[in-house]
Amino acid sequence: MTKFLLPCLRGLALALLLNNVLPASAQESAPQAEPTVPTQKRTWVPNDKPFYREFYDDTFGSTSKLWKEGDWGLMLPAWTVHMRFAYTKEQRNDQNNNPHPAFGINKGMYMPSGNWSSLYAMEFQDSWDKPSWMAGYNYNWIWREGNLRWGVGAVMGLMMRNDYFSYAPFPFILPSFQVGYKWVSIESAYVPGIKKGTGNVALLLLRLQSGALE
């Protein structure tokens, strides 16, 4: 019996020794594993959104914010350009390239996405030297390099012209462009043409915006 118990007791003692002594020394010599950092769910930032989602959030989702927090600006139409490829010399000589007297105001802001959003109303002389009015909404996707910025988007709303429906309001949507520095911007809306002698007209204007819109 003693011959049987002695090996068992020796084995138990050896096991206890290994359990209490060796793990502590092994911990001192073994390299420490990097702590596991719990993964966090990634949240959206403005530039991660698809352009159509940015457009929706900045327009339909932020109309009241634009009206309440937007800054007032002055819009000065400066020049009407009739593209040479679309009109003959005789036609261009008959057309008016000077939109004055012209004046416009807007209320706009750079949205959390960084893009430009504004409400506006404007009067100018059209290609036939007749007064025209337009009012509505302008949205531009903006890129920046320091204080310099440029953008492309759309201008939409209602327009009243002598040569279209005798000044009855009609809806429109046109491509728009801008380049600016700090609170000054040069903007353009372009009227595409379907055939020679129609459309293909760009209206250039100067926008002066109040507020810290950088």
Q: Is the model more confident about 199 or about 132?
A: 132
Residues with a known catalytic role: 82, 126-127
Domain CATH code at residue 169 = 2.40.160.20
5 belongs to a structural domain: no
For the chain, what is the domain count? 1
4 belongs to a structural domain: no
149 belongs to a structural domain: yes
**DSSP track, the chain:** -HHHHHHHHHHHHHHHHHHHTHHHHHHHHSPPPPPPPPP-PPPP-GGGS-HHHHHHHHTTTSHHHHHHHPEEEEEEEEEEEE-GGGS-HHHHHHS-----S-EEEEEEEE-TTS-EEEEEEEEEE-TTS-EEEEEEEEEEEEEEETTEEEEEEEEEEEEE-STTGGG--EEEEEEEEEEEETTEEEEEEEE--SSTTS--EEEEEEEEE-S---
- pLDDT at position 27 is 46
162 belongs to a structural domain: yes
What is the pTM for the complete model shown? 0.70
pLDDT digits (tens, 9 = 90+) for 121-161: 999 999 999 999 999 999 999 999 999 999 999 999 999 99
Domain span at residue 197? 75-209
139 belongs to a structural domain: yes
7 belongs to a structural domain: no
